[in-house]
Structure 1
Amino acid sequence: MRLTGLPFVAALALTACVTINVYFPAAEAREAAREFVENVIGEEQAAPPPAGREKDGDGQGMSGGMALAPLPAGMPLRESPAFDPWILFGIGAAQAQTPDITIRTPAIQAIQQRMESRFNSTLRPHFDTGALGFAGDGLVVVRDASQLPLKDRVAVNAAVADDNRDRNAVYREIAVANGHPEWESQIREVFAKQWVASARAGWWYQQGGSWKQK
């Protein structure tokens, strides 16, 4: 008796040896950058929600439970997902993976804490005066040295150099911590945009080679 099914099974096994492409998770990177940046410069206070109980459409307070409305006549129940036999051989419907981005490693957290302390103790006042600004490459630059008091210039320049050292380190560390050192330039680009997005009113940033005030 011939086993006609063996060639088919062998073909499935060979097909299972596929290369899974891992794409840069841009949305996850933006969320990670937002969390990191806001922790460094401090989140703006949001307006508290209005007091009082939520009400439903009849003006009555919402109860603890929720009744399920009956399905309209003729509407079928939602069907369960169909079984995919390819999963048995390690082949899913999609052959691409999009990993999360983590910024919660000891090295990254240590850099974040240093940057937060430095920003609040030294850098923030000089962003407020316009002496400092966010560069287009995710670093900090002295935009207008004339706005720096003479007695503060050495300390501010040293703080800017230290901060840029930490910035370069954290972009590299995030890429390495997530298993993709080749993502460093993309991580830097995402963070550069987030520093601008999180900048407070009156702060300066570079865009297209020119300075703009938010």
Structure 2
Amino acid sequence: MGKFKTTVLRTATMALAIFALGACVTINVYFPAAEAQEAAEEFVEKVLGDEAAPAPAGDNPQAFRAPAPARFSLLSLVISDAAAQEADITIRTPAIQAIQDRMAARFQDSLQPHFDSGALGFGKDGLLVLRDATKVALKDRVAVNQLVAEDNRDRNAVYREIAVANNHPEWEAQIRETFARQWVASARAGWWYQAADGSWKQK
């Protein structure tokens, strides 16, 4: 009988400790990487147009890799399913849509020929880079530099706006990284992109 009471007491003490720990835990909402990648793909493909189809993930050195599944822990027993869920990512706000429309018009009307020629490339930071000015006619270089600057302002703005629109401004860097991968994944064959080490590669 004494052994039974001791076992019950230990079990009750352990349960109380777990619930007390759970009450003190601040629930972190983890960055929803898969949802962000889907949002980036939708956004990027509209900007680049129908002809810029994404390459198979296995052929792309910067292709998105989903994170490993979370491990089970005793603490998960005291966290509600709602709290443990990852947040979703939305890109359907007026501000984001306006930036997307500007970028699509600019790219399809003016920037695309300079990607086709090899003058422009996708930087590793999710921005545009004039990688070879010699491929731009001298009379057009000022205009192309201005277009690149305007597009990069919109890119910086949209990465920030997506994070803010989803109530997590601290996600901006991760959103930028996700988009940087997606610009490469959606690029046409022959376009240039910057690898993680800063070198330039042709897709």
Instruction: Give runs of aligned pairs for residues 1-214 of structure 1, distance below 5 A.
Output: 19-44=26-51, 92=80, 95-207=83-195, 208-214=197-203
The ranges of structure 1 where at least 4 consecutive aligned residues each deviate by more than 6 angstroms after the TM superposition are: 11-14
Q: Is the 8 A contact 1:32 1:101 kept in 2?
A: yes
Give 2:61's aligned residue. Answer: none
What is the percent sequence identity of the aligned residues?
73
Consecutive unaligned residues of structure 2, counting only runs of 5 or more, are 1-15, 54-76
Structure 1 residues 45 and 160: CA distance shift in structure 2, 3 A: closer
Please state how far the C-alpha of 1:21 moved relative to its aligned partner: 1.8
Q: Is the 8 A contact 1:21 1:97 kept in 2?
A: no
* Matches of 1:102 and 1:28, distance apart in 2: 9
CA offsets, 1:27-61, max 9 Å, x none?
00000000000000013388xxxxxxxxxxxxxxx
Q: Is the 8 A contact 1:20 1:97 kept in 2?
A: no
CA offsets, 1:84-135, max 9 Å, x none?
xxx9xx9525752201100000000000000000001110000000000000
Taking structure 2 as the reference length, what is the TM-score of the superposition? 0.74
Number of matched pairs: 164
Give 1:5's aligned residue. Answer: none
Q: Is the 8 A contact 2:45 2:52 kept in 1?
A: no
Q: Which has the higher contact order (CA 8 A, sep 6+)?
A: 2
Could you say what secondary structure the match of 1:21 adopts? Answer: coil
Could you say what secondary structure the match of 1:184 adopts? Answer: helix
Q: Is the 8 A contact 1:196 1:205 kept in 2?
A: yes
RMSD of aligned residue pairs (Cα, Å): 2.5
Larger Rg: 1
Consecutive unaligned residues of structure 1, counting only runs of 5 or more, are 1-10, 47-86
* Matches of 2:36 and 2:108, distance apart in 1: 25
Please state how far the C-alpha of 1:18 moved relative to its aligned partner: 5.1
- Whichever structure has more helix as a proportion of its residues is 2
Please state how far the C-alpha of 1:211 moved relative to its aligned partner: 0.5
Taking structure 1 as the reference length, what is the TM-score of the superposition? 0.70
Could you say what secondary structure the match of 1:22 adopts? Answer: coil
